Amino acid sequence: MTALDAPVVFDLASTSVRALNAELHDPTAKHYEVRSPQGAHAIAAGVDAELTVDVRGHVGYYCAGMNDGAAITVHGNAGTGLAENMMSGTVRVTGDASQSTGATAHGGLLVVEGSASMRCGISMKGVDIVVGGDIGPMSAFMAQAGRLVVCGDAGADLGDSIYEARIYVRGAVASLGADCVEKEMRAEHLAELRDLLNDAGLPHSPEEFRRYGSARRLYHFTSGNTY
């Protein structure tokens, strides 16, 4: 790596998250390295440029929230709300993520190499989420669009009140939520799953997964739903 290629370094042991995010919102470089994050919240939130951001350590709440175009990697674990409302770009966590990972996210690719806690992908609106391990209960609750890939097991009430998102699970599913059912894996699903696994850098075979989605019973009002 030449001096021109070297990242701009922000050490949060001596610099504030506010100063870091101000630089990322009006960048003077293309590559940044964040050291000593020490579980701070909202690191690299609101980035809307094609930047590379490497965070060397664990982060707190809402890291990479609203990301729109950046490639953000957390070399550690992440707290609640990772990549919430992400629009585009990529976010990767090499460890585990807490609850509400990828909540309401509209686009881009979100990869958690470890496991994610409950409500992973809640109300997702077009994002692709790939989890290398397990996910917790109530994941993909009211998921509207996008794909959720789980290479481990899924907790209870998976896909409760789901719309048109697709869920792929390699391991066991504790239970399915309202209107979520297992569906046929056709050639098109195997192909898209293969691409997602390749993009995430995970070695699994698509044939090892099962697909889940909406039974479409909750789309329309019926007299039986009155109170």
pLDDT above 70: percentage of residues in the chain: 94
* pLDDT-based confidence at residue 221 (cuts at 50, 70, 90): low
Q: Name the residue with tokens 């098109």.
A: 188
The whole-number average pLDDT for the span 14-20 is 97
Instruction: Examine the pLDDT at 1 and tell me if it is beyond 50.
Output: no
* Secondary structure of the chain in HEC code, one letter for each residue: CCCCCCCEEEECCCCCHHHHHHHHHCCCCCEEEEECCCCCCCCCCCCCCCCEEEEECCCCCCCCCCCEEEEEEECCCECCCCCCCCCEEEEEECCCECCCCCCCCCCCEEEECCCECCCCCCCCEEEEEEECCCECCCCCCCCCEEEEEECCCECCCECCCCCCCEEEECCCECCECCCEEEECCCHHHHHHHHHHHHHHCCCCCHHHCEEEEECCCCCCCCHHHCC
pLDDT of residue 109: 98
pLDDT in tens, 164-202: 999 999 999 999 999 999 999 999 999 999 999 999 999
Query: Which structural domains are found in the chain, ordered by start?
Result: 8-199 (2.160.20.60)
pLDDT above 90: percentage of residues in the chain: 92
Structure tokens at 77: 């674990």
- Cβ-contact 139, 121 below 8 angstroms: yes
- Give the global pTM: 0.94
* pLDDT-based confidence at residue 144 (cuts at 50, 70, 90): very high
The C-alpha angle with vertex 39 and arms to 132 and 16, in degrees rounded to 5, equals 130
The whole-number average pLDDT for the span 97-117 is 98
